[in-house]
Amino acid sequence: MTPGDMDFPTPHPAGDCRMVREILDLVGDKWSLYIIASLKDGPVRFNELRRRIEGISQRMLTITLRGLERDGLVKRTLFPTIPPRVDYELTDVGRSLLEPVMALTLWANANQLNIQHARAIYDAG
Amino acid sequence: MTPGDMDFPTPHPAGDCRMVREILDLVGDKWSLYIIASLKDGPVRFNELRRRIEGISQRMLTITLRGLERDGLVKRTLFPTIPPRVDYELTDVGRSLLEPVMALTLWANANQLNIQHARAIYDAG
DNA sequence: CTGAATCCACCTAGATACTG
DNA sequence: CAGTATCTAGGTGGATTCAG
């Protein structure tokens, strides 16, 4: 580490953007938000979750759930019965994420036509 | 388009989640939010933008700007001087996106310790 | 039922070199 | 200055198969 470059509190003016990117690294993948949304009304079992989220593969459901569990957004409960049963549910932290996501949803609602229009114009030109 | 599959209003209960995903497809990539944040105070030229966003390559800056321009979030203005000059600035739509993004930032601020903690516990077990 | 393991196709994005 | 073109490594996610 060269002494001259010791501290770089904010390498660029984008400041806060750093943390937003961390969230996007958290739930910005293809399936996380679908899972969170699908869990908003209470615990759901693995295969039921799989049925609810159309198009997700078994592998991606497992992997994504593991990530959400690791980040403390989803809680996994194993019932050691035969056959085994596993419930997934949102933690308080996970549920609190629904709020800012809702803000994004509102923005999407308000602007999706603008965006479609802009694209149509751009693609025409 | 097969007549049978005509309409599928909400294939799964995740409903609103669709639109959120569309936004993530819009600005959920690696650089879009950095660019939007870097443009929040007014027009910026290409190379200045490149200097502000540490780590971005010339290619990715071009590609990402094209996408944002196509979606109507960023406006590109060419001054046909020699050497050429190009200004990029947020449109009203682009600027309006800063609000819900700010909500995400607040959530990140409030929960980043929770997440770090959850990860530490998970990785320990 | 709930996974883990493996293989593979696609896409993203970085490096580099070149252009008007 | 503001791009474009090409090549390539690495990551993401789908399909399939196996296991407890």
Instruction: Please name the member of A12, A71, A104 whose beta carbon is closest to the beta carbon of B53.
Output: A12
Q: In the prediction, which pLDDT does A19 show?
A: 77
> B65: buried, middle or exposed (CB in 10 Å: 19+, 13-18, 0-12)?
buried
Q: Pull the structure tokens for residue B81.
A: 């001087």
Q: Rounded to an integer, what distance in angstroms lies between the CA atom of residue A27 and that of residue A97?
A: 10
Cβ of B20 within 8 Å of Cβ of A104? The answer is yes
The confidence band for A125, taking pLDDT boundaries of 50, 70 and 90, is confident
Identify the CA nearest to B15 among candidates A59, A16, A36, A112: A36
Whether residue A20 and residue B100 make contact (CB cut-off 8 A), yes or no, is no
The radius of gyration of chain B's CA atoms, rounded to the nearest angstrom, is 19
Radius of gyration of chain A from its Cα atoms, rounded to whole angstroms: 20
Q: Residue A27 has what pLDDT?
A: 86
Q: How far is the CA of B42 from the C1' of C10 (A)?
A: 37
C-alpha to C-alpha distance for A66 and A72, rounded to whole angstroms: 10
pTM of the complete model: 0.84
Provide the pLDDT confidence category of residue B110 given band limits of 50, 70 and 90: very high
d(CA A57, CA A45): 15
Residue A63, chain B, CB below 8 Å: the answer is: no
Q: How far is the CA of B55 from the C1' of C16 (A)?
A: 16
Nearest residue to A101 (alpha-carbon basis) of B101, B71, B29, B11: B101
Nearest CA distance, A81 vs chain B (angstrom): 22
**Is B23 in contact with A23 (CB distance < 8 Å)?**
no
Span of A79-83, B27-31, B46-50 with lowest mean pLDDT: B27-31
Q: Nucleotides on strand C with an atom closer than 7 A to protein CB?
A: 1-6, 12-17, 20
